[in-house]
Structure 1
């Protein structure tokens, strides 16, 4: 069985059960984490365009 992400053979029983290799699983989890991150400006967004932190006072 091959890893769907990197196309390398899956060697361990756990990787075969998961269907993805351990390195690719970590990379995938990190990418999902980054997708869900918000900037402070998104949190505090009040419709104004904040170019600097001084504008937020």
Structure 2
């Protein structure tokens, strides 16, 4: 989704409120950034789709 699409869906007031809230958040520690980087970079290697595990969505319910 592009910025323009988000703006059209959420509206300028909501986007501005989100930006203000994000600006209030403290900076992340280097340790947290490294941990998140590992999760985001290698997540596809850790988890296989349910079909690849021999299961389907109906079995989860």
Give TM-score scaled by structure 1 length. 0.33
> Which structure has more helix as a fraction of its residues?
2
By relative contact order (CA 8 Å, sep 6+), the higher-ranking structure is: 1
When normalised by structure 2's length, the TM-score is 0.32
Structure of higher CA gyration radius: 1
